[in-house]
Amino acid sequence: MIRKTRLFTPGPTPLLPAAQFAMAAADIHHRTPEFRALYQRVLGQLKEFVGTNNDVIILSSSGTGAMEASVSNLTSPGDRVLVLTAGKFGERWSALAKAFGCEVDIVSAPYGQTFTLEAVKAALKLETRVVFMQANETSTGVRHDVEGVAKLLKQQKSEALLVVDAITGLGTSEFDMDKWGVDVLIGGSQKAVMIPPGLSYLAVSQHAWDRMESTYNPRYYFDLRKERKNAKSGESAYTPAVALIAALGAALDWVAAQADGNLEKGREKLVANAELIAEMTRAALTVLGFKLFNAVSPGAAATAVYAPEGVDSGIVVKELKSRFAAIITNGQGEMKGQIFRIAHLGFFDYLDTIALIGALEQVVVKSLPQLGVKFGDGLIAAQKVFAERTAK
Amino acid sequence: MIRKTRLFTPGPTPLLPAAQFAMAAADIHHRTPEFRALYQRVLGQLKEFVGTNNDVIILSSSGTGAMEASVSNLTSPGDRVLVLTAGKFGERWSALAKAFGCEVDIVSAPYGQTFTLEAVKAALKLETRVVFMQANETSTGVRHDVEGVAKLLKQQKSEALLVVDAITGLGTSEFDMDKWGVDVLIGGSQKAVMIPPGLSYLAVSQHAWDRMESTYNPRYYFDLRKERKNAKSGESAYTPAVALIAALGAALDWVAAQADGNLEKGREKLVANAELIAEMTRAALTVLGFKLFNAVSPGAAATAVYAPEGVDSGIVVKELKSRFAAIITNGQGEMKGQIFRIAHLGFFDYLDTIALIGALEQVVVKSLPQLGVKFGDGLIAAQKVFAERTAK
């Protein structure tokens, strides 16, 4: 049978056709009025998409580049920082902070869980300069409480900056970084904005810009103040990934078009879309006999479930790929072989969702008979969720 | 919720990405060695796809252009011809033959049915010059018996040419035009070959080429002998639809790649794919309470079903479009409002199929409660068909 390759992965996510066309057409030089107009337009769109009055910076790098920029621009060697971690990307904050000579305090929760605000409060010190966290831990599918941590820092009158990796959080959760007092919010291109990898972006508060005046960790390619200065004249400091910027502009046009040209409302629709798909998927997976790995605080970016006792989760990943060309992901880090993950962020609709659940049912009925599942079990659960949520 | 527009229509069918890219890149002039190499390659591929040693002609026209070419090149005013019809496209043969001054005999069956070979035999006259028929009547989803009619003409030692509109038959049924003695087999670009409309093609037997020596109906743009002569040197008589020809080449490369480079075997896989999707769809629709319209001789190109008593079939078409952006088609001609049709030919896979059935279930449960359907009824039927057919 024909098998169309389809990504159900939490980045890269399926590409938006309008963005693909813009990318293919992006035959322009980056030191021209044409590019400057494009760049300023996209920077403006990103502010609306993030929902902030802060300046937004685009980097030609993966999301990790923007994470590094946050560390290298906002800390000096010997600075005490606090990392909140419950997964592979939390651990990346620790590794980055250590690489740049910081003294790293850690609040950690097991994979699949989230940390309590009490633990964060207990770990926060007077001299903590920055708190690093994820909005959504991609490796586990767990949503962390960004608003709660921000409130805590205010309550404690902490001088610490709050830096949030929202790479899979943007477009799957609502944020009000200006009101909450988040200092840096980081996004990536291959996530909810539906274009290929290669761009990251950061919204940066005045508090964070001020901090950069005194920090002295080495930075050159990721020098945020240089990028901010260049962006004022519509250029990037170094050669930008032009085609991806054109694609991002087209993708954000599309998001706006989902709500009569209102990009903020379009983003809200994107979040609601991911929430509904996540709910359909959770309902189906539960009935199919899988235990939710991210049950405590499930994010809408991706759902993670345990493989059955004694089964390598790679089997489900492999069978979905070989039989249906549907690409989901295994666990990362210490969870490899134990869980699998299905993404909901970005360009997915009802038909994508019900189709993947159908394919998953085929895999379970044939290859995991011990789960005692019969055809229809998962599909019916998902059908009912969709019908209930769209009834009004 | 996000809604991706998806075609489930019997032409245009969903586009193959590789063909879209080839089309976008087709920036070549048609009187150059580059185009001549492309054109001869595609003509060769089409022979393999059709499965014939006959010359194949490409026309820049819709399928109706190739139907007209068959009439204008193979008949003279006053010729007696026999049209076998059971739907809108059968009627088109009559209209074309009359427009070119033929004396038209007709064997007709009601929409949704097919004609008997006895009726064809009874209508065939000594002086019948051409028999026109469809391999698959797109307006009803019914497959006609091309091999049976070809055999009958041989048994009767008829001098009549057999001209078959296989526009939705190619890639959904197997043909052996050389062995059976079919004289003209017609295809279209927006069907099983997965590219946009704009090209038609005809495989033409020696018997048919010989006939053209004496026929004298007016023809100029559709002069098949002129096209054949030009094709020998790798060109078309008139400006060809270059981008579509590049797309067709890429699509046929893809079909070949489905079977290790063997285009004939790739076509067989395409037919098997359509057959399995058709079977899943028929099983689901039946359980969902719809009566098959093409039950007597169902083709794999599309499935047609009756709307329930007293319901306009346009409701299902409209709801699938407005709620899910899934495009199916209403009945054509006298069947409008009475049936709807779902296509299987071309670039569809398991996930497309199960997804559409899920959406259809949502429409039925919400908008056609009189059918007494509950979630899972159609999906489970389709799941079982897929599991059984792929069990080996």
Smallest CA–CA distance from A254 into chain B, residue: B2
Q: Is residue B133 domain-resident? A: yes
Q: Which of A242, A257, A272 is the last residue of a domain?
A: A257
Token pair listed for B183 = 């004289």
Q: In whole angstroms, how far apart are CA A288 and each of A317, A357, B330?
A: 15, 10, 36
- Taking the C-alpha atoms of residue B374 and residue A27, their distance in angstroms, rounded to an integer, is 52
pLDDT at B295: 94
| B234 and B85, same domain (yes or no) | yes
Cβ–Cβ gap B3/A387 under 8 Å: no
Cross-strand pairs, B11: none
Q: What share of chain B is helix, strand, coil (3-state, %, to 5)?
A: 45, 15, 40
Q: Which of B257, B287, B319 is the last residue of a domain?
A: B257
Cβ atoms of residues B259 and B268 within 8 Å: yes
- From chain B, the residues in CB contact with A322 under 8 A are none
Token pair listed for A94 = 């620790």
What three-state secondary structure class fits A124? coil
- Taking the C-alpha atoms of residue A88 and residue A105, their distance in angstroms, rounded to an integer, is 17
- Taking the C-alpha atoms of residue A92 and residue A263, their distance in angstroms, rounded to an integer, is 31
At residue B180, what is the residue type? W
| A286 and A238, same domain (yes or no) | no
| B222 and B150, same domain (yes or no) | yes
CA-wise closest residue to A270 among A280, A255, A248: A255
What three-state secondary structure class fits B212? coil
List, as ranges, residues 263-322 from B with C-beta within 8 Å of A: 269-270, 272-273, 276
pLDDT at A191: 96
Q: Which of A232, A257, A282 is the last residue of a domain?
A: A257
Q: Is the pLDDT of residue A157 over 80?
A: yes
Residue A351 at interface with chain B, using a CB cutoff of 8 Å: yes
Q: Is the pLDDT of residue A392 over 90?
A: no
| B31 and B118, same domain (yes or no) | yes
**Can you tell me the mean pLDDT for B81-99?**
97
Higher-confidence residue: A333 or A92?
A92
| A90 and A234, same domain (yes or no) | yes
- From chain A, the residues in CB contact with B273 under 8 A are 1-2
Residue B359 belongs to a domain with what CATH number? 3.90.1150.10
Cβ–Cβ gap B375/A379 under 8 Å: yes
- Taking the C-alpha atoms of residue B107 and residue B363, their distance in angstroms, rounded to an integer, is 38
- Taking the C-alpha atoms of residue B152 and residue B154, their distance in angstroms, rounded to an integer, is 5
Say what the ipTM of the complex is: 0.90
Is residue B369 very low, low, confident or very high in pLDDT (cuts 50, 70, 90)? very high
pLDDT at B184: 98
- Taking the C-alpha atoms of residue B245 and residue B258, their distance in angstroms, rounded to an integer, is 20
Q: What is the mean pLDDT of chain A?
A: 97
Cβ burial B204-216 (10 Å sphere, 16+ → b, else e): bbebbbebbeebe
- From chain A, the residues in CB contact with B256 under 8 A are none
Instruction: Tell me the pLDDT tens digit for each residue of B310-327.
Output: 999 999 999 999 999 999
Q: Is the pLDDT of residue A290 over 90?
A: yes
Cβ–Cβ gap B6/A351 under 8 Å: yes
pLDDT at A351: 98
Q: Is residue B308 domain-resident? A: yes
Residue A25 at interface with chain B, using a CB cutoff of 8 Å: no
| B292 and B172, same domain (yes or no) | no
Residue B337 at interface with chain A, using a CB cutoff of 8 Å: no
Instruction: Tell me the pLDDT tens digit for each residue of A197-233.
Output: 999 999 999 999 999 999 999 999 999 999 999 999 9
Instruction: For residue A61, give how far its alpha carbon lies from the nearest alpha carbon of chain B (Å).
Output: 27
Is residue A306 very low, low, confident or very high in pLDDT (cuts 50, 70, 90)? very high
Cross-strand pairs, B131: B82, B162
Is residue A98 very low, low, confident or very high in pLDDT (cuts 50, 70, 90)? very high
Q: Is residue B1 domain-resident? A: no
Residue A390 at interface with chain B, using a CB cutoff of 8 Å: yes
Is residue A334 very low, low, confident or very high in pLDDT (cuts 50, 70, 90)? confident
Instruction: Tell me the pLDDT tens digit for each residue of A46-71.
Output: 999 999 999 999 999 999 999 999 99
Cβ atoms of residues A84 and A164 within 8 Å: no
Is residue B392 very low, low, confident or very high in pLDDT (cuts 50, 70, 90)? confident
| A299 and A154, same domain (yes or no) | no
- From chain B, the residues in CB contact with A258 under 8 A are 2
Phi, psi of B199 (to 5 degrees): -125, 140
Instruction: For residue A340, give how far its alpha carbon lies from the nearest alpha carbon of chain B (Å).
Output: 20
Instruction: Tell me the pLDDT tens digit for each residue of B349-359.
Output: 999 999 999 99
- Taking the C-alpha atoms of residue A248 and residue A16, their distance in angstroms, rounded to an integer, is 10
Task: Of A371-380, B107-116, B331-340, B381-390, give the lowest mean pLDDT range.
Answer: B331-340
- Taking the C-alpha atoms of residue B27 and residue B242, their distance in angstroms, rounded to an integer, is 8
- Taking the C-alpha atoms of residue A108 and residue A97, their distance in angstroms, rounded to an integer, is 15
Q: Is residue A191 domain-resident? A: yes
Q: In whole angstroms, how far apart are CA B292 and each of A76, A228, B38, B340?
A: 73, 64, 43, 10
Which DSSP helix (H) or strand (E) runs through A304? strand A302-306
The model carries a pTM of 0.94
| A241 and A294, same domain (yes or no) | no
CA-wise closest residue to A187 among A203, A174, A205: A203
What is the full DSSP assignment across B76-140?
-TT-EEEEEESSHHHHHHHHHHHHTT-EEEEEE--TT----HHHHHHH--TTEEEEEEESEETTT
Q: In whole angstroms, how far apart are CA B99 and each of A185, B92, B105?
A: 70, 10, 14
**Can you tell me the mean pLDDT for B23-27?**
91
Cβ atoms of residues B349 and B14 within 8 Å: no
What is the full DSSP assignment across A41-95?
HHHHHHHHHHT-SSEEEEESS-HHHHHHHHHHHH--TT-EEEEEESSHHHHHHHH
Q: Is the pLDDT of residue B175 over 90?
A: yes
Q: What is the mean pLDDT of chain B?
A: 97
Q: Is residue A1 domain-resident? A: no
- Taking the C-alpha atoms of residue A285 and residue A304, their distance in angstroms, rounded to an integer, is 10
pLDDT at A63: 96
Is residue B333 very low, low, confident or very high in pLDDT (cuts 50, 70, 90)? confident
CA-wise closest residue to B351 among A32, A362, A164: A362
Cβ atoms of residues A237 and A223 within 8 Å: yes
Smallest CA–CA distance from B254 into chain A, residue: A2
Residue B80 belongs to a domain with what CATH number? 3.40.640.10
Q: In whole angstroms, how far apart are CA A248 and each of A23, A26, A253, B167, B182?
A: 9, 11, 8, 40, 53
- From chain B, the residues in CB contact with A193 under 8 A are none
- Taking the C-alpha atoms of residue A193 and residue A345, their distance in angstroms, rounded to an integer, is 9
Is-cis flag, bond preceding B10, omega within 30?
Answer: no
Is residue A390 very low, low, confident or very high in pLDDT (cuts 50, 70, 90)? very high
| A119 and A138, same domain (yes or no) | yes
Cβ–Cβ gap A387/B375 under 8 Å: yes
Q: Residues 6 or more apart from A190 whose CB is under 8 A from it?
A: A11, A12, A13, A196, A197, A198
Torsion over CA of A312, A314, A316 and A320, rounded to 10 degrees? -160
Per the structure, the count of domains in chain B is 2
What is the full DSSP assignment across A312-370?
-THHHHHHHHHHH-EE-EE--GGGTTTEEEEE-SSS--HHHHHHHHHHHHHHHHHH-GG
Q: In whole angstroms, how far apart are CA A338 and each of A140, A298, B51?
A: 11, 18, 50
Cβ atoms of residues A392 and A371 within 8 Å: no
Q: Is the pLDDT of residue B47 over 90?
A: yes
pLDDT at B337: 96
Nearest to A354 among B2, B355, B365 (CB): B355
Q: Is residue A302 domain-resident? A: yes
Which DSSP helix (H) or strand (E) runs through B201? strand B200-204
Instruction: Tell me the pLDDT tens digit for each residue of B206-252.
Output: 999 999 999 999 999 999 999 999 999 999 999 999 999 999 999 99
- Taking the C-alpha atoms of residue B134 and residue B28, their distance in angstroms, rounded to an integer, is 35
- Taking the C-alpha atoms of residue A56 and residue A72, their distance in angstroms, rounded to an integer, is 17
Residue B6 at interface with chain A, using a CB cutoff of 8 Å: yes
- Taking the C-alpha atoms of residue A120 and residue A108, their distance in angstroms, rounded to an integer, is 9
Q: What is the pairing mode between strands B326-327 and B6-7?
A: parallel
| B94 and B210, same domain (yes or no) | yes
Cβ–Cβ gap B1/A390 under 8 Å: yes
Distance, CA of A275 to chain centre: 14
Instruction: For residue A356, give how far its alpha carbon lies from the nearest alpha carbon of chain B (Å).
Output: 7
Is residue A31 very low, low, confident or very high in pLDDT (cuts 50, 70, 90)? very high
What one-character DSSP code corresponds to residue A137? E
Domain of residue A40 covers 17-257
Residue B130 at interface with chain A, using a CB cutoff of 8 Å: no
Phi, psi of B102 (to 5 degrees): -80, 155
Smallest CA–CA distance from B269 into chain A, residue: A1
Q: Is residue B285 domain-resident? A: yes
Token pair listed for B375 = 């979630």
| B46 and B99, same domain (yes or no) | yes
- The percentage of residues in chain A with a pLDDT greater than 90, rounded to a whole number, is 98
| B132 and B28, same domain (yes or no) | yes
HSE toward the beta carbon, residue A196, CA cutoff 13 A: 13
**Can you tell me the mean pLDDT for A312-339?**
95
List, as ranges, residues 87-106 from B with C-beta within 8 Å of A: none
At residue B363, what is the residue type? V
